[in-house]
């Protein structure tokens, strides 16, 4: 059984930050669950264009408000606590935090290793590429 608290992850190598986000990585590929689970906070008033070409991602909002825009169609979906959005087609999207910091519980498949950084196109490298660097 794996038991972790957010408190013990804060400040560890599993507490990863970018310019406008912070991801506390509760489960990673090394945990052997087949998916990774993250507690992610997006800073209010910011937006990011992302496209996870090699991963599927589901996000469940637990705090704040924002919106996600599907780049291909321009369709905009509001996000508030209790909203789930899933990128089931590796959708290129814009994520905005509009009212308070947007806090999401995120699931990635295949699981993240924890060392990924966003590429210029907003994607993460495929796991196989990261394996060759290990």
**Alpha helix segments (H runs only) across 59-114:** none
Q: Give me the CATH number covering residue 25.
A: 2.60.120.10
Q: Which residues make Cβ contacts (< 8 Å) with residue 14, sequence separation at least 6?
A: 24, 25, 26, 28, 114
Per the CB < 8 A criterion, the answer to whether 42 and 101 are in contact is yes
Q: Is 82 left (phi over 0), alpha (psi -120 to 50) or beta?
A: left
11 within domain boundaries = no
Both tokens of residue 115?
């060392």
pLDDT lower than 70: segments of the chain: 117-118, 122-123, 125, 127-134
13 within domain boundaries = no
* Global confidence as pTM: 0.88
In tens, the pLDDT along 52-81 reads 888 899 999 999 999 999 999 999 999 999
Q: How many domains does the chain have?
A: 1
8 within domain boundaries = no
In tens, the pLDDT along 78-88 reads 999 999 999 99
2 within domain boundaries = no
E-assigned strand segments in the chain: 15-17, 21-27, 36-42, 47-50, 56-70, 76-79, 84-87, 93-109
52 within domain boundaries = yes
């Amino acid at each position: 059984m794996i038991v972790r608290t957010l408190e013990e992850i804060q400040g560890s190598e599993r507490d990863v930050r970018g310019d406008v986000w912070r991801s506390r990585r509760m489960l990673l590929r090394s945990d052997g669950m087949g998916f990774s689970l993250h507690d992610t906070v997006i800073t209010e008033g910011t937006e990011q264009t992302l496209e996870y070409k090699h991963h599927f991602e589901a996000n469940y909002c637990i705090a704040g408000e924002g919106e996600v825009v599907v780049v291909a169609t321009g369709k905009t979906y509001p996000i508030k606590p209790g909203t789930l959005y899933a990128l089931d087609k590796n959708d290129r999207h814009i994520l905005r935090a509009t009212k308070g910091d947007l806090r999401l519980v995120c699931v990635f498949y295949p699981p993240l290793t924890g060392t990924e950084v966003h590429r210029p196109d907003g994607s993460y490298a495929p796991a196989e590429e990261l394996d060759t660097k290990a």
